[in-house]
Amino acid sequence: MIIVMKPGAAEEDINKIIEKIRELGYAPHALRGVEKTIVGAVGNEENKGRLQALESMRGVESVVPIMKPYKLAGREFKKENTVIDVCGLQIGGKNIVVMAGPCSVENREQILESARAVKAAGGNILRGGAFKPRTSPYAFQGLEEEGLKLLAEAKKETGLPIITEVVNPNDMDLVADYADIMQVGARNVQNFTLLKLLGQCKKPILLKRGMMTTIKEFIMSAEYIMSEGNRNVILCERGIRTFETATRNTLDISAIPVLRKETHLPIVVDPSHATGHWEYIHSMAMASVAAGADGIIVEVHPKPEDALSDGAQSLKPAKFKQLMEDIEKFAIAAGRGMYK
């Protein structure tokens, strides 16, 4: 249920509603707007009749049922788009945000060279994996804390905020000490223990769609994070598994407008993991911006042929620079802009 307060409702009345919601066994989530405050009551449906009776309390304009299974992430709860601030960058705002860097942090020289290339081309956020969940147990698993320290060094030199993946719930606090955005990979999209813990973290979370995750399941995973108190969730479409083998995955471009309709959260697209081939990244990045994505996350490596992971889908710095120049044209055509 959503309890809509009257314009100018007193703080005392709002607090009484919040207290009453708790008494009924629901979790209250207040959203204070310029003119109105709405309070979401999230929980099971047992006492929804008693929630409806809150219309009689002072300051309440109406009580509206939420029909979708996702309460906090859905448009029914919040009509306007959510904008998430990351070191002064507005993800979900007018400007397209570009996150770029290598799949894995391999060594100091590699990550610093990558960071400089991303910065020089106009990229906004440095990506790099310190903890790497891999299909094979024999593949490179990342440098772990040493990788995080190297990312911090790259951030200090270039000023680029850091996005990196958290894999194990036990590593959450460690990763949070270094990351500006914490990424949940496709394999962990329904690791509900991890999602609930991240909901107690104040850092923005980039949540990647799973290989076989429906839109509904994807948004429900965001709901797990948000239900624990963290509203700063960014959704990332990164391709789904289909019968096609010409690409690594199949980029679901239609997910962008569907998610835009269903949720107020920012949407980012990963054309690198979606296609698995560097030569397809450019066109898929353009298509993503044209379809309404708020940003892209792309893999860039100074020497893809020597990469320890995902070299085939990594752009060289010169290709990334060209991508940045072309993205700006599409952003302007879409009535948006780029951070300079």
Element (H, E) at 229: none
Distances (CA, A) of 169 to 135, 150, 194, 201: 19, 21, 5, 12
pLDDT at 36 (0 to 100): 87
Distances (CA, A) of 153 to 85, 143, 146, 160, 169: 22, 14, 11, 10, 24
Q: What is the mean pLDDT of the chain?
A: 94
Q: Are 128 and 164 in contact (CB under 8 A)?
A: yes
- Please, what are the domains in the chain? 2-64 (3.30.70.1140), 84-338 (3.20.20.70)
pLDDT at 212 (0 to 100): 96
Q: How far apart are CA 128 and CA 26, in angstroms?
A: 39
pLDDT at 49 (0 to 100): 78
Q: How far apart are CA 278 and CA 282, in angstroms?
A: 8
For residue 133, is pLDDT > 90? no
For residue 134, is pLDDT > 70? no
Q: pLDDT, tens digit, for every residue of 82-98?
A: 999 999 999 999 999 99
Residues 12/14/18/24 CA torsion (nearest 10 deg): 100
pLDDT at 114 (0 to 100): 97
Q: Count CA atoms within 13 Å of residue 182 on its CB side.
A: 28
Q: How far apart are CA 63 and CA 19, in angstroms?
A: 16
Q: pLDDT, tens digit, for every residue of 245-299?
A: 999 999 999 999 999 999 999 999 999 999 999 999 999 999 999 999 999 999 9
Report residue 54 as tokens.
Answer: 């809150």
Q: Which residues pair with 162 in a beta bridge?
A: 126
For residue 174, is pLDDT > 90? yes
